[in-house]
Amino acid sequence: MTAAPSLSILLLNGPNLNLLGTREPGIYGTSTLADVEETARTAAAARGCTLRAFQSNSEGALIDAIHGAAGTAGGIVINAGAYTHTSIAIADALAAVGLPVVEVHLSNVHRREAFRHTSYISAVAGAVIVGAGIEGYRFAVEHLAARLGAPAGTSPKS
């Protein structure tokens, strides 16, 4: 049995996050995208939620995934990468589908270059988690699961 759409979470990762583990490990750590997805999937399962992960370096593909979440997911966890600071289109897509959104970033973007201090995603996100590394994804999933009404401490559905 799979979770109802209301207990399904879409995890989106944007450009260059496919290079985690090798890309600037001093900033982003040594965990891979597979590690991020497993951390998020485990956190979702512990709350009785399902999680679908998608990564793209393409803005249009991310927007299509957001549009596809309507009716199939209860909420979205997103690390839009550099699109966070540039894409009004992604922010508009998130607003248009009307799902709860949690924005997450591995590094503390507020301690980095000034252009990283602006996020178009934050305006449509119910929560923003920055600087917690890979654990930020767990926090984001747990927060979103609670917001979706998933009970705490449930065992994964089979």
Query: Catalytic: 105?
Result: yes
156 within a domain of the structure (yes/no): no
- Numbered residues of the known binding site for substrate: 79, 85, 92, 106-107, 116
pLDDT in tens, the chain (158 residues): 455 678 999 999 999 999 999 887 777 778 899 999 999 999 999 999 999 999 999 999 999 999 999 999 999 999 999 999 899 999 999 999 999 999 999 988 777 677 666 899 999 999 999 999 999 999 999 999 999 998 886 544 43
CA distance 3 to 47: 10
Q: Tally the domains of the chain.
A: 1
- Which of 89, 98, 143, 73 has its CA nearest to residue 121? 89
Check which CATH number belongs to the domain holding 92 and give it.
3.40.50.9100
Please identify which of the residues 83, 105, 137, 143 carries the catalytic annotation. Answer: 105
Please identify which of the residues 28, 83, 120, 137 carries the catalytic annotation. Answer: 28
pTM of the model: 0.89
Q: 79 is in which domain, residue-wise?
A: 5-147
- Which of 94, 87, 20, 18 has its CA nearest to residue 59? 87
154 within a domain of the structure (yes/no): no
